[in-house]
Amino acid sequence: MALDRSYLEYPRRRYGMDHDRYDWSMLTDRSPVQWPGGKRLALWVNVALQFFPLNQQGKPFPPTGGMTTAYPDLRHYTLREYGNRVGIYRFLQAFDRFGVRPTFSVSARLAERYPCLLRRLAARGDEIACHGWHMDATHYGGLDPAAEEALIERSLRTLRSLTGQPVQGWLSPSRSQSANTPDLLAKQGVRYLCDWVNDDMPYGFRTGAGPMVAMPLSLELEDAFIIHGNLHSEKEYAEQVRDAFDFLYAEAAEQGGRMLALSLHPWVLGQPHRIGRLEEVLEYITAHEGVWCAPAGEICAAWQSAAR
What whole-number distance in Å separates Cα of residue 106 and Cα of residue 111?
Answer: 7
Residue 2 pLDDT: 79
d(CA 137, CA 67): 14
Residue 239: per-residue pLDDT: 98
Grade residue 5 by pLDDT with cuts at 50, 70 and 90: confident
SS3 120: helix
- Give the model's confidence band at 12: pLDDT under 50 very low, under 70 low, under 90 confident, else very high: confident
25 versus 98: the higher-pLDDT residue is: 98
DSSP code, position 300? H
Nearest to 39 by CA among 209, 307, 292, 243: 292
- Averaged pLDDT of the chain: 96
**From CA 184, how far away is CA 205, in angstroms rounded?**
13
Q: Are 263 and 102 in contact (CB under 8 A)?
A: no
The span from the CA of 117 to the CA of 110, in Å, is 9
Split at pLDDT 50, 70, 90, the class of 293 is very high
* Model pTM score: 0.95
Report the pLDDT averaged over residues 187-204.
Answer: 97
Confidence of residue 8 (pLDDT cuts 50, 70, 90): confident
Name all domains of the chain by residue range, CATH numbers in brackets: 36-307 (3.20.20.370)
Tens of pLDDT, residue by residue over 264-286, are: 999 999 999 999 999 999 999 99
Q: What is the pLDDT of residues 56-76, one digit of tens each?
A: 999 999 999 999 999 999 999
Average of pLDDT values for 142-170? 97
State the Rg of the chain over Cα.
Answer: 20
Which bin fits 299, alpha (ψ -120 to 50), beta or left (φ > 0)? Answer: alpha
Question: Any residues with CB less than 8 A from the CB of 268 and at least 6 apart, and which?
Answer: 83, 87, 223, 224, 227, 228, 274
Q: What's the rounded mean pLDDT across residues 23-43?
A: 95
pLDDT band at 15 (very low <50, low <70, confident <90, very high): confident
CB under 8 Å to 173, separation ≥6 — which residues?
Answer: 50, 63, 64, 107, 131, 132, 133, 134, 135, 136, 137, 138, 139
pLDDT score of 108: 98
